Amino acid sequence: MKRILVIQPLRPEGLEIFDARKDVAYKVVTDSSEKNLLVNAADADAIAVRTAVITKRVLDAAPRLKVISRHGVGYDNIPVSACTARGIAVTVVGGVNAISVAEHTWFLILAAARSGVELDTATRRGDFGIRERVTGLELSGRNLLIIGFGRVGKQVAARARAFGMNISVFDPYLQGELPKDVRLFASLEGALREADVVTLHTPLTDETRALLCERELWLLPKGAILVNASRGGVVDEAALLAAVRSGHLHGAGLDTFEMEPLPSDSPLLSEPRIVLSPHAAAMTETSLVAMSVMTAKNALAGLDGTLDPELVVNPSVLKMAP
C-alpha cells in the first residue's frame, strides 16, 4: 500500500482521484507545524502540499518519500536542493491556474491605474469630491513590461491586447518564439526605462530575489505602475513604498509579500496608492479544483514513475529513478 500525506486539504475532486486507487491510502492533516509533520511523514511515499513549509527535518523523517506534489506553481516552501540530493521529485501544477492569476493581475493593474482604493474609500464616506482631486491613468497606448513570460505572462499579454497596450518582455530563460507584437528586451535596465506598467511573473530564486530594488524602481518613467503577483521577495517593499509616496510611481498592486501573512504593522497598509490582496491570485473555485486535481495526479505519477518532465522542478531526479 502506497501512502500519501496531504498537508492542508485539497478540493474533493482531487481526493476522489486518490479514492479511485485501491493501492493508495492517504491522510489529510490540517496542522502543518513541523512537529506534526515529523510524526505524520514517517511512512509517506508522497506528499501533497499547499503553502506549508517542508523543512529538511521533515524530509529526513520520511525515508520512503519519492515525490512532493506542490498545489501551485511556486516552490520556495520546499527545500528543492535537498530533495534533488535524495532523488525526490518536486512537482508543480503547470498552467491550470494561469488564467485566474492573469485575471487577478489585471484586477491589480486596473485598480492601481484608477486609484481604486482611494476612490472606493472616499465614496463610502460620502466624498464625491474625490473625483476632482484624484485622476486615473489611461492604459491604451502605454507600454506594458512582463517580467517572466511563462504560462501566466502569456495570459497577461493576451489581455493586454484588448487594452491596446504595447507589450514587451524581459525573460532570460525564454524558450520558443515570441508573438510578432511582443518586443523582447535583452536588458532589464533598458526594459524598465520604457515601461509604463510592470508586472512580475517569476519564481523566487537566488537570481530573482530583490530583482527590483530602489535603483530599478527609479529607472521607471515617472507615473509608472508596478504589480507583483508572483513572489514577495522579488521586490524591495520599502523601496517600492518610498517610490509611490514620493510620487515617482503612480501606484502599485501587490498580491505577494516578503512576509506572509502581511504583518499588522506593515507600512504598506497605510498607503492607499498600493492595492493589496492576500496572495489570492489563484483563488477562484475553477482554479482551486484544477490545482487539486493536478496535485493529486502528480503525486500518483511520482509513485507510478510516469511524471511529466514539464511539471518537475528538479527534472534531473528523473534520470536517477531505477
Q: Which of 231, 237, 250, 273 is catalytic?
A: 231
Respond yes or no: is residue 260 known to be catalytic. yes
Q: Which of 11, 76, 17, 1 is nearest to 299 (CA)?
A: 17
| Separation of alpha carbons 73 and 181, rounded Å | 27
57 and 37 Cβ atoms separated by less than 8 Å: no
Q: Is 59 helix (H, G, I), strand (E, B) or coil?
A: helix
Respond yes or no: is residue 279 known to be catalytic. yes
Q: Is 308 helix (H, G, I), strand (E, B) or coil?
A: coil
CA angle 280–283–286, rounded 5-degree value: 160
Cβ neighbours of residue 306 under 8 Å, at least 6 residues apart? none
Cβ neighbours of residue 70 under 8 Å, at least 6 residues apart? 49, 77, 78, 90, 91, 92, 93, 295, 313
Respond yes or no: is residue 70 known to be catalytic. no
Q: Which of 70, 71, 142, 279 is catalytic?
A: 279
Q: Which of 13, 138, 189, 260 is catalytic?
A: 260
Asked whether the bond before 261 is cis by omega within 30 degrees of 0, the reply is yes
Sheet (strand 89-91) strand order: 24-29, 2-7, 46-49, 67-70, 89-91
10 Å CB burial of residue 61 (0-12, 13-18, 19+) is middle
According to DSSP, the residues that pair with 27 across neighbouring strands are 5
According to DSSP, the residues that pair with 197 across neighbouring strands are 144, 225
Annotated catalytic residues are: 231, 260, 279
